Amino acid sequence: MPSIDPIERTLSRQGHRLTGPRRAVVDTMRLLGNHFTAEEVQQALPAVGRATIFRTMKLMRELEMICQVVLDDGTIVYQLVGEDESEHHHHVICSDCGKVAEFTSDGLERLLEDVASMTGFEVGAHRIELYGQCDSCQKK
């Protein structure tokens, strides 16, 4: 039975099997919300072996379904990558609560062009991380 779930479909299309543990890990990540640690996923799924959790997360990282971010306190958290848009994006991270928002920007394209002409580099990959306060932490 083919799944309607976008993540499960991608896994399947890339030649990976859709097993119970894998579905459970994906569901749990969604349940945990915006960001989560490997440990949180593991604790939420005591029935699934540790190794499987790490293997699944490694696979998802390789397929760019999740990505890592370092919070100000040094904690490393994971986040599901935008599920509907396959577009290239970056993160704004809230220094207070750790909430991560994604953004894309046309301004970014212009920035890259500026840099290319200033430095003579042909810019390929880039990583941009912005830190600030999210709307709810601003109100506190």
Partner DNA sequence: GTACATGCAAAACTTTTGCAGTATG
Partner DNA sequence: CATACTGCAAAAGTTTTGCATGTAC
Residues that bind DNA in the complex, under the rule CB under 7 A: 12, 16-22, 38-39, 47-52, 54-56, 58, 76
Instruction: Return the amino acid letter for 133.
Output: Q
**Should residue 92 be labelled a site residue for its own copies when binding is judged by CB under 8 A?**
yes
Question: Mapped to the 3 state alphabet, what secondary structure does 46-114 carry?
Answer: CCCCHHHHHHHHHHHHHCCCEEEEECCCCCEEEEECCCCCCCCCEEEEECCCCCEEEECCHHHHHHHHH
∠ Cα 101 106 109 (to 5°): 110
Beta-bridge partner residues of 76: 70
Q: How far is the CB of 59 from DNA (least distance, A)?
A: 8
Closest CB to DNA among 66 and 134? 66
Q: By CB under 8 A, which span of 35-43, 46-54, 79-87, 110-118 interacts with its own copies? A: 110-118
Shortest Å distance, C-beta 53 to DNA: 7
Return the one option of its own copies, DNA, none that residue 31 interacts with (CB less than 5 to 8 A, by type).
none
Query: What DSSP state is assigned to residue 14?
Result: T
Residue 108 interacts with its own copies (CB under 8 A): yes or no: yes
Contact flag: residue 54 with its own copies (CB under 8 A): no
